[in-house]
A = this chain, B = another copy of it.
Amino acid sequence: MDFLKVSSKSSPASVAGAIAGMVKDGVPVNIQCVGAGAVNQATKAIAIARGFLIPTGVDISCAPTFSDIEIGGESRTAIRIAIYVHDISRQSSAPSISGGRASGENVL
C-alpha cells in the first residue's frame, strides 16, 4: 500500500490538494506521519481538504492507527491515517459540517 508521507515541514495546503485530487479520482488515500509536527500538518491538511471537497458533495473523515516502522534502522511508531469518503449529496444522514477553511496560512 502506498502512503502519502507527511512530515512536520510539509505544506498542509499542498497535502490537502493531493488528498482532494486522489479522492476525486477514486484513489484510496492513506497518510503516514511520524512525530507530533507531522501529525499536526496531516490533520490541518485533512481540514483544508474537507473545504475543497464539501462544495463538490463529498466529505472525508479519517481513521488513525499506530504502526511500527523502521527509519534508518531504528524502530519508530508512525501514525497511519486512512481517509474515508462520504457522499454527502446522497445521504440523508450526512455528517454535520462546520466548514473547514481552505487556507494554508493557519500557523499553529
Contacts and interface: CB of A to CB of B under 8 A. Distances in A.
| Dominant secondary structure of chain A at its interface with chain B | mixed
A54 B61 CA distance: 17
Interface in A88-108: 95-108
A63 B44 contact: no
Contacts of A103: 1-3
A50 B63 CA distance: 8
Contact of A100 (B14, B65, B99, B108): B65
19 contacts: A1-B103, A2-B103, A6-B108, A15-B108, A36-B36, A43-B43, A43-B79, A44-B66, A59-B63, A60-B63, A61-B63, A62-B62, A64-B100, A65-B97, A65-B101, A69-B102, A77-B107, A78-B102, A84-B95
